[in-house]
Amino acid sequence: MTLKELSDHVVAEFKKHYGREPRWIVAAPGRVNVIGEHTDYNDGFVLPMAIERYAIMAADLALFQSTNTVSIYDTQFKETATIDVGEHVTKGSPKWSNYMRGVFAGFQRRGEKIPALDVAFMSTVPLGGGLSSSAALEVCTGTLIEAATGKRIDPIEKALIAQTAEHEFAGVPCGIMDQFISSLGREGHLLLLDCRTRKTELVPMNDPAVALLIVNTNVKHELGSGEYAKRRAECEEAAKILGVASLRDVTPEQLEKAKSKMSDLVYRRARHVIGEIERTVHAAEGIRQSNWPTVGQFMYASHASLRDDYDVSCKELDAVVEIAEDIGFKGGVYGCRMTGGGFGGCCVALVKADAIEAITKTMLEEYNVKTGLEAIIFSSRPAAGATIIKG
């Protein structure tokens, strides 16, 4: 569904459910990370893009403000969550409402009063697919508050409120990448983000000869399960041994010199992060020059490192990358890698645009042969970040 179709759909659902027109429509996209994985919480670089999949909300002030309640009607699962915004918002049920609760709490902390609202909600970002469905929901919620209060805030601040919501209300100690790209994405561009300085550079990605394919393994990932937090702790341990604030400060040579001071596991974690930060900077340069074969090689190298050193891949993600390698350059694939936190979710492949159909067909068939599962494949152009569509 295009954003326009999605918006029409959620408006129709709002009208059906609440019996009147919505006053605001807001949306925020999911993302795919082209390269720079598990580098954000190490002060490194990331290179994500917003995708044409969105969390979207149609809303109006509740008829009775005295209820102090935000009602969110989930149009897909036909479920309504109610959140008491009369006092400081806390965790609650259903589980997905916590992403919104966390953002309400963040705005309250800034001194904002959240009005009572009626909301209809829908998301086309696959859940648990490594495409940041949670960041999309958080940033969408922040954008809704901006629309409803009439006060726009700095998109970086909105991203940081969303990140805090993820930490405190979803229990995932994530970095800043997902919320930043959902908030700051620009149509036709990737976002090169320096996670230390938070300096951003928009890297144009609009060569019609290439496309990014997103291959969903349909293996759900659970970042809350503890592996993500473990990786963070291992990186912190490496930095401590190396005597630096973060792995951003370490060169490959310095790591080699200190190898004997750390366990093999901690060494491999650090090797991934240090190598990945370099690859990201080089890949961004490759994209600026439309040097697609080079970008593709960095993507394959990134995957190998995530698989072998960082241990966050899984056999289904590896299967997709193997199939991509088999199709190869001749068949129109430049590169492929897992994207997002890992342990399932999606791969991203850089491909020749005119080979999309053939590649998709081969991938679907081969993936099924290798794993017995059905993948879902779609392409997306770089989309815009969060927007107030109406209001």
106 touches ligand GLA by CB under 6 A: no
Nearer to ligand GLA, 341 or 385 (CB): 341
In this structure, what token pair is assigned to residue 98?
């916590």
Question: Residue 79 pairs with which residues in a beta bridge?
Answer: 74
User: Pick the catalytic residue: 60, 178, 309, 311?
Assistant: 178
48 lies in the site for ligand GLA, by CB under 6 A: no
Note whether 44 binds ligand GLA by CB under 6 A.
Answer: no
Q: Three-class SS string for 104-126?
A: HHHHHHCCCCCCCEEEEEEECCC
Residue pair 184/142 in contact (Cβ under 8 Å)? The answer is: no
Minimum Å gap between C-beta 163 and ligand GLA is 8
Name the minimum Å distance from CB 175 to ligand GLA. 3
- Residue with Cβ nearer ligand GLA (163 or 218): 163
- Whether the CB-CB separation of 49 and 202 falls below 8 Å is answered with no
Task: Return the half-sphere exposure (C-beta side, CA atoms, 13 A cut-off) of residue 199.
Answer: 2
Stretch that binds ligand GLA, among 36-44, 114-122, 257-265, 358-366 (CB under 6 A): 36-44
Residue from 155, 275, 341, 385 binding ligand GLA (CB under 6 A):
341
Q: Using the rule CB under 6 A, is 26 a contact of ligand GLA? A: no
Among 3, 26, 30, 38, binds ligand GLA (CB under 6 A): 38
Question: Taking CB under 6 A as the rule, does residue 53 contact ligand GLA?
Answer: no
Closest CA to 46 of 218, 207, 178: 178
Binding mask 154-193 for ligand GLA (x = CB under 6 A): --------------------xx-xx---------------
Rounded Cα–Cα distance for residues 80 and 33 (Å): 32
Question: How far is 101 from 169, CA to CA, in rounded Å?
Answer: 7
Nearer to ligand GLA, 10 or 174 (CB): 174
| Residue in the block written with tokens 């479920």 | 79
Which CB sits closer to ligand GLA, 31 or 114?
Answer: 31
User: Is residue 309 near ligand GLA by the rule CB under 6 A?
Assistant: no
Member of 3, 7, 11, 37 binding ligand GLA (CB under 6 A)? 37
CA distances 215 to 5, 53, 318, 323, Å, are 23, 14, 12, 11
Judged by CB under 6 A, which stretch of 32-40, 86-94, 254-262, 283-291 contacts ligand GLA?
32-40
Full DSSP string of 26-86 = EEEEEEEEEE-TT-GGGT-EEEEEEEEEEEEEEEEE-S-GGG-EEEEEETTTTEEEEEE-S
Q: Are 337 and 347 in contact (CB under 8 A)?
A: yes
Q: Which is nearer to ligand GLA, 22 or 48 (CB)?
A: 48
Whether 8 is catalytic: no
Interface residues with ligand GLA (CB under 6 A) are 37-38, 40-41, 174-175, 177-178, 340-341
